[in-house]
Amino acid sequence: MYQVIKQNKPAFEISAKMKISSQLLEKYFKGLCTDEEVEIVEAYLDQEETPEAEAYFMQISELTEVASTNKETDKGPFLKRIVHPGYSIAAAVIVVLSVLAWLWQYPRQRRELKVAVLSDTIYNNSNTIRLVHMADGSRIWMNAYATIIYNKSYSISNRELWLNGEAYFEVGKQAEFPFKVHTSGITTTALGTAFNIATANKADGAIQVSLVEGRVAVSDTLKGASFRYVLEPGQMLEYRDGRQPDVPKAFNAKTTLGWKNYKIIFDHTTLADAFALLESRYKCRITLVDDKLAGKKISGNFNANQSVSSILETLGYVHKFTSTHQVNSNNYIIKKK
């Protein structure tokens, strides 16, 4: 284990290496900067005079005010959401002001700040599938409780998305901008293809990128592209945070894409992974008391409309465990019989 001690850099050294722009600041606050970019931005923010940052935060405030005005007056068929739809305008203003206060009071914690105030968010706050049509012709099937963040200039100057959860992408053909999906630590890039990404279906936190048609490139986001794999149809890449991935492998399309047909399919799946998948699909917690159960394997098909309690009851019959539901915390306690 080691510690890196950073020193403040003079303004001329910063500007010589990289120009501080609103785009770079936005990238920094989303947590997408490289280590070098983080060092440059933090050194810049430590200076007494930071006009670019002040202009950036002023822009945020102005956009919030515009959103507030639009909410009161716009009666047209289309209203662009500047702030997240789950927030009220008042809450958005509080968030912006809190960010500013927090930012200047605790400069060494800035790297952990991840906001998307200049982006929009698509939520699937349900246990069903949501189909989204993007402006470039791309179609996205969002699995239960998945979230997608996209830049407000999507399809105008970029085609970049940030995914949390599971989604299936059919990419519209647009040669001007590559289609990119960012997940924790990796970026998946495609030009015209169909693929699936799951960020929360494995107990060890592995992200799974599965290619159905076309070609995609999967690369490291935060470490200067230390790896890059090009997948062929029928291949899957599994990425675990901070580790070099194994080579791509074949995947069972029926199992991986079963959720699109409202199925939950286990194929020699460990109970640990099955519980992780159920947690993602049903927005619940499953606590395994006996670790010896984690490696037990299960196969079977379930309807996604079934309750998690009924699925756990079936799994428990096979592997002889009980599940107790704590309603207040939506937590299921798994114990061996």
Domain boundaries, the chain: 11-112, 119-254, 262-336
CATH 3.55.50.30, domain 262-336, yes or no? yes
Region of residue 106 (phi > 0: left; psi between -120 and 50: alpha; otherwise: beta): beta
Encoding tokens for residue 8?
């403040």
Q: Which of 55-64, 65-74, 220-229, 294-303 has the lowest mean pLDDT?
A: 65-74
Starting from the edge strand earliest in sequence, which strands make up the sheet with 249-250, in order? 130-133, 139-142, 166-170, 194-198, 207-213, 235-239, 249-250
CATH 2.40.30.10, domain 119-254, yes or no? no
Q: At what angle do helices 51-73 and 35-45 cross, to 10 degrees?
A: 90
Whether the model clears a pTM of 0.85, i.e. scores above it, the answer is no
Distance CA 48, CA 50 (A): 7
Encoding tokens for residue 2?
């080691």
Report the share of the chain in percent with pLDDT over 70. Answer: 71
Distance CA 163, CA 182 (A): 6
DSSP 328: G
**In this predicted model, what pLDDT tens digit does every residue of 197-207 receive, in sequence order?**
999 999 999 99
Angle at 184 between CA 246 and CA 180, to 5 degrees: 90
Instruction: Report pLDDT for 224.
Output: 57
Which residues partner with 230 through β-bridges?
A: 217
**In this predicted model, what pLDDT tens digit does every residue of 270-295 receive, in sequence order?**
999 999 999 999 999 999 998 889 99
Say whether 262-336 and 119-254 share the same fold: no
Residues 6+ apart with CB under 8 A from 153: none
